[in-house]
Amino acid sequence: MKVANKILSISIILINFYFLPFTIISIRNLIGSIEYGLSSIPLTLSINLLLISAFLVFKDGFSKSMLLLVINALGLVWGLFVLWLLLTVPLMD
């Protein structure tokens, strides 16, 4: 369980290399709500918050936590789904 927790945490950290700059750029530019801009901020912020649970796994007391394993697994599925949506759904013109 310790290894699975660390693999999921590393995956969440890697997926946030895309979502963290995307969130910052979206907030800075304040793109219209019809496009990806403001409507995607709650989705990306929820994925950015998963960094907390991902970094907690690397502490000694939390590395064997079943709750963090479930949170990270569900969060990774959610993050991959939102990533797939953002990369494949075309903009509405």
User: 5 with 72: CB under 8 angstroms?
Assistant: yes
- Residue-wise pLDDT tens digits, 16-45: 999 999 888 888 877 555 555 567 788 889
pLDDT tens readout for residues 58-93: 998 888 889 999 999 999 999 999 889 888 877 654
pTM for the full predicted model = 0.83
Neighbours of 85 (CB within 10 A): 12
